Amino acid sequence: MTRPELSRRQAEILQRVKQGQPDKAIAHELGISVHTVRTYIERIAAKVPGETPRRHRLFFLNVDGAA
């Protein structure tokens, strides 16, 4: 699998998602809305091909974006 490019903010959010933090907590910590967190998650997941639900695909990535 090729390595998806993640922005600094995407990597921050990915790290928190993989730690099991809820979207609301991520939003509060980063000073952004829950909607924005979910948009980031969808955009990160869209970079990872596969048949599993998008959010589950995030767990196959390293925090730096490497698969």
What's the pLDDT score for residue 45? 83
Give me the number of domains the chain comprises: 1
For residues 41 and 55, is the Cβ–Cβ distance under 8 A? yes
Signed CA dihedral, 21, 2, 8, 35: sign only: negative
Residue 34 lies in a domain: yes
In a domain? residue 42: yes
Range of the domain at 55: 8-60
Query: Per-residue confidence of the chain (67 residues) as pLDDT tens digits?
Result: 556 788 999 999 989 988 889 999 999 999 999 999 999 988 888 887 666 656 666 665 655 544 4
Helix locations, 1-67, DSSP H: 8-18, 23-30, 34-46, 54-57
Contact 27, 34 (CB under 8 A): yes
Query: Does some domain include residue 3?
Result: no
Give the CATH number for residue 17.
Answer: 1.10.10
Res 10: pLDDT:
93
Domain for residue 49, yes or no? yes
